[in-house]
Structures are given as structure tokens and as C-alpha cells.
A and B are shown apart, each in its own frame.
Chain A
Amino acid sequence: DAGVTQSPTHLIKTRGQQVTLRCSPKSGHDTVSWYQQALGQGPQFIFQYYEEEERQRGNFPDRFSGHQFPNYSSELNVNALLLGDSALYLCASSPGTGFYNSPLHFGNGTRLTVT
């Protein structure tokens, strides 16, 4: 049973560029959340997708956008990259909103470096 898979594992981009990160949720899960984890910090919630819609959003600018596909996979897009966007980007899946006691299953993350 495949867990949450993310691609790519590492990425180096230049300031001002755009980047797309991809995530496939754990089998049976239909809700995908994205988190940003800077070095030495806890993960910060970016947004959550369910039924192909953004259901919740954290305190991130519009440069961060996403998409969920009919097969529940998801993309995170970041435009106009800043040096401060360098971080580990974590995708987490769960079996639906309002599902009591459902834990988040995290992928191994994408390490983004902006130079």
C-alpha cells in the first residue's frame, strides 16, 4: 500500500521563477494538505484541498496556489519565488474532512532551495 508520494525530492530555483510540486495521496485518502517547514521550525499550514476545491487556507500570500485533480492528487504552485520560500514542502493526506480521529499521513517532502 503506497503512502503519500511527493515529487521531486529536491529542487533548486532562482529568485523570481515559478515552481510546481506534486503529491499523490495515500490510497483511500481524498483530502490533501500542504505545509511549509523552514529549517528549525515546525510545519506551517498552507492550504487544504477536498473535492477539487480549496477548503481552508493558512496565512500565505496569493503567490501560493494549488490544484486537486479528480484522482485526488494535488499540485502546489509558487510564483515569483523569494529567497524566503526555501523550505521543505510537505504534503499530507487524510480520509476526508470531518472524519474524527483521522491522522494526517505526511509524504517525505520536497526540499526547495531558492538562490
Chain B
Amino acid sequence: QKEVEQNSGPLSVPEGAIASLNCTYSDRGSQSFFWYRQYSGKSPELIMSIYSNGDKEDGRFTAQLNKASQYVSLLIRDSQPSDSATYLCASSSGAGGGADGLTFGKGTHLIIQP
């Protein structure tokens, strides 16, 4: 049974600080990892994808992957109130997000306090 585990939160972070979101996965065959942001009542929106060990930066977002520890994280720098949402971690054993069904975690509810 493939599983992705996340702390459900809520995680409360002051505006301007760094928000750190973490997840672990059980399937060692997973090759692709994704972070989605989901506002209440809306559909998930892709924030970051990462496929190899190390860090990947895109603007205020940095994804980190450690396959040996089966651990994925997302850092959000200079957090803004608009970042308040549920962040979903997902994994796939396929090479691309569209090539394989994704296994999602339950999500971490992030609150940025003004």
C-alpha cells in the first residue's frame, strides 16, 4: 500500500517568515514528487515538482527531496497571507505527473498570520 504522510496541522507562521512543510512516502519505487496548493473549496494547483535528490527553487518556493530518507519538503520564503491554504504532497512511480496515478497525502493546513 503506497502511502504519503503529512502533518495535518494547522501550521501557523508569521507573515514574512519561512514556512516549512514536510512529508514522507512509503513506496521506494516513487520517482516523481509534487506539491499542490489547495484553497478552501477550490481544486489543487501545482506549486512544485521534483524528481532528483537535492533542492529545486522557484521564486519563493524551494522543494527538497531525499530519496534515501524517503522525505520531501517545501519551504516558502517571505510567507504572505495569500499563502494560507492546504498544501498537498503527492508521489508517483512514473516519470511524469501525467504518466501515473498520484498518491496524495492528507495535506497540511498552513495559516500565515499578518
Contacts and interface: CB of A to CB of B under 8 A. Distances in A.
A43 B104 CA distance: 6
Contact of A56 (B45, B51, B96, B100): B100
A42 B42 contact: no
Contact of A42 (B45, B49, B51, B105): B105
Contacts of B105: 42
Nearest to A33: B101
A79 interface: no
Contacts of A40: 106
B49 A101 contact: yes
18 contacts: A33-B101, A42-B4, A42-B107, A43-B102, A44-B104, A45-B103, A90-B43, A94-B98, A97-B94, A97-B99, A99-B98, A99-B99, A104-B46, A104-B102, A106-B43, A106-B45, A107-B43, A108-B43
Interface in A47-99: 47-48, 56, 58, 90, 93-99
B98 A56 contact: no
A100 B43 contact: no
B104 A102 contact: no
B43 A109 contact: yes
- Chain B contact residues: helix, strand, loop or mixed: loop
B99 A42 contact: no
Contact of A48 (B46, B101, B103): B101
B93 to A, nearest CB: 10
A56 B94 CA distance: 12
A101 B98 CA distance: 8
Contacts of B90: 42
B33 interface: no
Contact of B97 (A35, A94, A107, A108): A94
Contact of B96 (A47, A48, A100): A100
Residue in A33, A47, A107 with the greatest tally of chain B CB atoms within 10 Å:
A33
Contacts of B94: 97-98
Contacts of B88: 42-43
A84 to B, nearest CB: 17
